[in-house]
Structure 1
Amino acid sequence: MSNSFRVHSTSDKDVEANSDHQSEKRFDYLQRAQWLRGAVLGCNEGIMTSSILVMGMTVHIDTTKDLIITGLVGLIAGALAIATAEFISVYTQVDVVEAQNDRDRRSGRVGRAPVPSPTEISLAASLAYVIGGVVPILTALFVRPQVMRFVAVAISASFSMLGAGYFAASLGKAPVLRSCARVLMGGWIEIAILIGKRKVLESFGL
């Protein structure tokens, strides 16, 4: 009797696993692609902007109060700015897709291209901006010496970028390692460009 029970239990597990596999195959992960793109962009921008800020590359911060005020204002302004930019840019895509759908319908073509949601994407980008941007600020609050702060923020920013890459890959069922590497490398390239820009301006006394 125990053998038959074991076979029955294994069979149930196989059926359940097969059912999950079929459900995953039926789910269209392209539905997530648009807002995931906006979220990764927003998160990386938030991490990069806040990191540059608290590393002292844009303004000189002396006190904890200055750090909190500067960081909070930067987060709000950045989140609103990226939400506005995403809303405008995605609506351009919406106009093109809807115009093409109208042409296809008039010509008798079957099928309709999916229309992205500007509101959904802009909200995802702005929320991700705040989540990504708050990490370097919180890190800097607990590290006072400028050199140590630079190192601590660099480490926290790197882990945040890796987290953003893992989040995007997991929700999109994409390769995790490639996503993490791309987000990390891209984020640090952007930070290096901005630091280089600052150094060039300083060399001219600006």
Structure 2
Amino acid sequence: MIRAPRKEMHRSHRSGWLRAAVLGANDGVVSTASLIAGVAAAHATPQVVLLTGVAGLVAGAMSMAAGEYVSVHSQADTERADIEQERREQESDPVHEMSELAAIYVGRGLDPVTADEVARQLMKRDALQAHARDELGIPVDGQARPLQAALTSALAFAAGAGIPLLAVVLATEDTMTTVVTVSSLVSLMLLGAVAARVGGASPLRGALRVTFWGAAAMALTALVGSWFGVAV
């Protein structure tokens, strides 16, 4: 008797949007906070610091969107080309394609007779999907989405960059650097912990990893700004 499959929670389906969102937000916080720290260390006025941060937000969000779009679009083009090639091969030699699929299942542990039957039934139902999934590793209904990835990265970057910018607006001139640094590091800790938790990893390790590199980036940029030591 075949039992109904029980519902299980897996995280791999989140990898696409999670990667884009985490990368965008992390870059937004780190790059904008570092930019602000560097300009503030050069004794710029609060107005110049804020303007620099806003410019960094706009430029960074557009850069993230463009980079993600081009990268994911290239992946999508490759996937479409592979699927189209597979379609042509199935039309020209379906017997060979079924044997190829059966060989994949034999390599995964099925006996040849069972593998042939599984391949025959799957190809009868949806040959292209079976080959795309098991031969190419591409789910036909889960291909790369360039526009979605670009928008996710841009919005996530803007959200992350808004944290140090808000700190600049709320802080006084004397406390600006401290408030920006602390708020940014706390945000990075939370971002790293949440991303790790959603992905099934250790929240503490994720928080420490993201915070360390964020702090290093801000410290190095502030050091460069202090070397100049002049008003922008």
TM-score, reference length from structure 1: 0.71
- AA aligned to 1:118 is P
How much identity, in percent, do the aligned residues show? 29
Contact 2:38 2:225 in 1 (8 A): no
1:83-94 matched pairs, under 5 angstroms? 83-94=65-76
Shift of 1:72: 2.7
Q: Distance in 1 between matches of 2:48 and 2:171?
A: 14
Q: Distance in 1 between matches of 2:22 and 2:219?
A: 19
Q: Distance in 1 between matches of 2:227 and 2:172?
A: 26
Give 3-state SS (helix, strand or coil) of 2:171's partner.
Answer: coil
- AA aligned to 1:133 is A
Q: Specify which of 118, 124, 134 is matched with residue 162 of structure 2.
A: 134
Quick check: 1:35 aligned with 2:62? no
Quick check: 1:178 aligned with 2:209? no
Residues 144-170 of structure 1: per-residue CA shift (max 9 Å, x gap) = 234x32222111111111121123223
Determine which structure has more spread, i.e. the larger CA radius of gyration. Answer: 2
Contact 2:26 2:160 in 1 (8 A): yes
Which structure has more RCO (C-alpha within 8 Å, separation ≥ 6)? Answer: 2
- AA aligned to 1:181 is L
Quick check: 1:145 aligned with 2:128? no
Where structure 1 has 5 or more consecutive residues not aligned to the other structure, the ranges are: 1-21
Where structure 2 has 5 or more consecutive residues not aligned to the other structure, the ranges are: 1-5, 91-96, 102-130
Contact 2:29 2:163 in 1 (8 A): yes
Q: Which runs of 4+ in 1 moved over 6 A?
A: none
Residues 114-163 of structure 1: per-residue CA shift (max 9 Å, x gap) = 422111211111111111111111112222234x3222211111111112
Quick check: 1:191 aligned with 2:218? yes
1:106-145 matched pairs, under 5 angstroms? 106=89, 108=97, 109=101, 110-112=131-133, 113-114=138-139, 115-145=143-173
TM-score, reference length from structure 2: 0.64
Contact 1:54 1:61 in 2 (8 A): no
Q: Distance in 1 between matches of 2:82 and 2:228?
A: 49
Query: Which residue does the alignment assign to 1:62?
Result: 45
Q: Specify which of 58, 73, 84 is matched with residue 55 of structure 2.
A: 73
Shift of 1:202: 4.1
Q: Distance in 1 between matches of 2:152 and 2:67?
A: 12
For residues 29 and 52 of structure 1, do their structure 2 counterparts lie closer, same or farther at Cα, with a shift above 3 Å needed? same
Q: Specify which of 182, 185, 190 is matched with residue 163 of structure 1.
A: 190
Shift of 1:195: 4.3
Q: Specify which of 62, 77, 84 is matched with residue 95 of structure 1.
A: 77
For residues 104 and 133 of structure 1, do their structure 2 counterparts lie closer, same or farther at Cα, with a shift above 3 Å needed? same
RMSD (Å), alpha carbons: 2.9
Q: Distance in 1 between matches of 2:161 and 2:208?
A: 19
